Structure 1
Amino acid sequence: MGELSLRLAVIGDELAAGAGDPKGIGWVGRVAARTHAQPTAMFLTLAVPGETTTALAGRWEDEAARRFSPEADNRLIVALGRADIAAGLSLARSRLNLANILDVADAQRVPTFVVGPPPGHADDGAQIAELSGAYADVAARRRVPFVDMYTPLATHEQWLGDLAAGDGVLPGQAGYGMMAWLVLHTGWHLWLGLPESPA
């Protein structure tokens, strides 16, 4: 990266903002604390609660552009939530929305990293699993790193206990810690061109 500053725009919903975390830092803050970049990375979280990928695709470019700099190493983290399911969006529409975000970022030479939706209500499980798989496929076709949050957490006792202890939708301190661990151990440092931080 040389002397360039590192600017990481995180676009997503309330999960990107760490809603429900007693510590108030969510998975993004935990990942930031473990990202030892020189110069220091600047994490810029652009979250809108309950946002679908349609709304996200419509706003991210303008909002990220305001925070990027021609003199910086600008990067985009797409933190996908579960709102598309509640809004009744088709799988095809969700796929297309993510594809459009990744294609525009690629055209602008902004490296991207995608974080999939984590499990929520048990009755949404099959739909979230399908949505996560679709997002993974879109990212893989573009050779963009993708973090599968659903598969490792769907039956994880600590994750499920953390959800149950809260509102059943948002994770708490333990849940966000698990999300951060998955990000850090799914190609995060490689994507940034940094050495792995100690476990």
Structure 2
Amino acid sequence: MSSLVIALTGASSQIIAERAIDLLLKSHQNLDIIISKGAYEVWKSEKGIQIPLEMKKQALFWRERLNNNSGKITCHKWNDNSANIASGSYTTKGMVIIPCSMGTLGRIASGCSIDLIERCADVHLKEGRPLIISPRESPFNLIHLKNMTLLCEAGAKIIPCIPSWYSDPKTIDEMIDFMAVRLFDSFDFDLPKINRWKGIK
């Protein structure tokens, strides 16, 4: 079964990426996970957690942290541009970058592939596969907006994680689930039900 590439870059809102990984594994997806150099630092500063740098230990980290043994996890080093997912001949279901820093977004938009995340994004664009980018920044400046426009024109989807108030969330977890599930609406995944807009009654 083809895998889905999940990339985490050095921006806030890592909790949404974590929940997305958990939900995808529970739906028995095969995941290729890449954590950028900056994302390691964000986890350390915001959560006080040092994610293992060794890839097998990192896969075990996700299993233990999420208490989830479903699906399949393959972790890749952020600068391993020789990884299988760096090649267009390696088929995937798509790629989601959550959260996506403006630096990563800008380099992808310019075709400048320095690390594995940027190379994988370039591959998904050139192969015409789904590429979903969830930017984390506020406010957007004109450069950010132009870069997002370039990526949309190249075939990517830009999906910022925005909570819904019409779903009347009662907890932060409900808000996180809504944002995580919405990222994958264009995929045919069996993810938990969320309170979607049903119209005015």
Q: State TM-score, norm by structure 1.
A: 0.49
TM-score (norm 2): 0.49
